[in-house]
Structure 1
Amino acid sequence: MRVLLLVPALALATACTDVAPLTSTGFNTPEYQAQREAQLAGQGVAGNPLLAPVEVSQQPLGAPGTAPVATGENADIANQTAAALASTSGQNPAAVTAVPVANTGAISDEQDFAAVSERRSIESDAARVEQNRQTYELVAPTAVPERTASGQTNIVQYALSTSNPVGVQLYSRSGFNLQAKAQRNCAQFPSPDQAQIEFLSNGGPQRDRKGLDPDGDGYACGWDPSPFRSAVSN
């Protein structure tokens, strides 16, 4: 019984010892932390000691607009980048400096009574008003020009001169297959308005020479005068 209990315990201990230690890079590496603790404690550090915060802050800075000096592999990359920029722009990248952007915008002080009163006076405002009056031009209204007769049929005027609804016969129509003929002829017009103009221009509404008004209501190809009447009544 004791042997059976010892077997799981040994397996658990073995599993715990097999766990790999956590690794990290950068400033969280164990080596970096050890050097930092040793330096803070005043002990000597072998290898490449870390710079103290005071020493880092005292490092000289480059001139404004210049890039930091790179060494080693970073220097090679920086030199290659500078050469590529010089070949494309034709200008030495080292000679390029940042151009300060001048901020010419200013907050208006028109709401400041003291500032405005220093620049203006009652006399200057009166002179400005008088100058505006002299340059002001009053345009007198003129009569609206009358519409000249163009000779084209006016379907709006025709709609307002009639009162019968669509489908109420007022004019006699004779012939065979009037609906089929009207359907075929109305298909030639892009809109009912165009069909109504053609209908009125060729003897309508009394006569229907092209067979556009088979029910004799005076409206060709289903043209409806109601929208024109409603616009006038409103």
Structure 2
Amino acid sequence: MKRSIGAICALVTLSACQPPVPDSAAGVFYDEVTGEHRNTALPPAKAVSQETIPDAPQVATIQPVVPVQTTTATPLTTTTTAKPRPTAAVNAVPPTGSVPAINSDAASIASETTAALAAASANSGELPLDASPSNPAPQVFSNPGISDENDFAAVDGRRTIEADAARRQQNKANYTVIQPTAVPVRTGDAGPNIVAYALDTKHPRGTKMHSRLKIGGASRYDKACAKFSSDEAAQRAFLEKGGPKKDRLGVDPDGDGYACKWDPSPFRVAAGN
């Protein structure tokens, strides 16, 4: 308890010894009219009343808003109401200084539509088709290449039940069944088979396989080959007369086993050999 009383007395003593803090608002005032100096923070009421107050700023007068005048839109020109104009009128240039009465999207679309109609009329010579519900349906032309046998209304006026029955009987009488027969067998009288010979041999033209006596030379070869209608006939006759080992006809002077200009390559290619 004694300590608390001592602490309170010490605080009171310190507060009494502290110097007074000057007023931050105090200052020196100089009166320009009287030349008086005073230690005060605020000027007297008379000095404040003589101060000049600036005028309030002037606000510009707001002009009333004038409503914008709207232009009545012109209806679009449809296919029904549009009329083609001559090409000269479409391509005509307006005089200098003139301003169109209507400058809007509707007028531009109407102008393009009219120009298109005029161009179509100038190209084909016929006006475009007016697609309107009130127009009659276009005429449909029948195609003579298409059969109408499945149309009962169309066939009913041309045929009767009796005529169809007679036609079925006629078709039945004309129907013939061909019985299969055995495949004919090739006989040996037809001569050598050059296709089988081409597939049995493997060497190309010009390869010497058999010995030959060079009698008569090229002139005998040309005369011998000229006697046959084709190289296939020469090869068949060559095989019949002992070929390919012997050349009694003089059609194989090089000994390759192929008469004249006969070539077995096409038969090998066809057979995949």
**Greater fraction helix:** 1
Instruction: Report the TM-score when normalising by structure 2.
Output: 0.36
Instruction: Report the TM-score when normalising by structure 1.
Output: 0.41
